[in-house]
């Protein structure tokens, strides 16, 4: 099994339950892991024999631009798009962290993790 990961992808987006969160925006950090089997000869050194992490980033960037109230649908839509574009992928894990969420105390981040297995 091969695992391709994209960790620490940073975005500024307007996700949040409260109107001020959707107005002010917030910083987010995204981690994506995908696992798949291949029969390809990896020594051939062809990008078509793997999951291109640039494509993972582009999927995430497109979904992060769509404002949503909750983190769960953002992470789920990213996983769904990966599954659609790469149906051979066995396991998908998407963790979305909201940095410094608007709470009454100091919190480094809140997060949601979606796991999508075949």
Q: Which residues contact 100 (CB under 8 A, 6 or more apart)?
A: 26, 27, 107, 108, 109
Q: What is the DSSP letter of 42?
A: G
Summarize the chain as % helix, strand, coil (round to 5): 35, 35, 30
Of 3, 97, 98, 118, catalytic? 98
- The parent domain of residue 14 ranges over 2-117
* Active site (annotated) includes residue 98: yes
Q: Which CATH number covers residue 34?
A: 3.30.1130.10
Residue-level pLDDT at 55 = 96
Cα angle, residue 68 at apex, residues 67 and 72 outer, rounded to 5°: 135
Per-residue pLDDT tens over the stretch 92-114: 999 999 998 888 899 999 999 99
The pTM of the whole model exceeds 0.75: yes
Q: What sign does the CA torsion over 1, 3, 83, 74 have? A: positive
How many structural domains does the chain have? 1
Per-residue pLDDT tens over the stretch 32-81: 999 999 888 888 888 888 899 999 999 999 999 999 999 999 999 999 99
Indicate the pLDDT class of residue 84, thresholds 50, 70 and 90: very high
């Amino acid at each position: 099994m091969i695992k391709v990961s994209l960790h620490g992808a940073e975005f500024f987006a307007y996700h949040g339950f409260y109107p001020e969160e959707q107005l002010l925006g917030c910083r987010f950090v995204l981690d994506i892991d995908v696992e798949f089997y291949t029969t390809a000869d990896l020594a051939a050194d062809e990008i078509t024999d793997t999951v291109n992490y640039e494509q993972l980033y582009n999927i995430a960037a497109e979904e992060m631009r769509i404002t949503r109230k909750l983190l769960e649908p953002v992470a789920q839509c990213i996983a769904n798009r990966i599954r659609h574009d790469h149906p051979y992928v066995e396991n998908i894990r998407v963790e979305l962290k909201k940095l410094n969420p608007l709470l009454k105390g100091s919190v480094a981040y809140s997060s949601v993790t979606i796991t999508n297995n075949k």
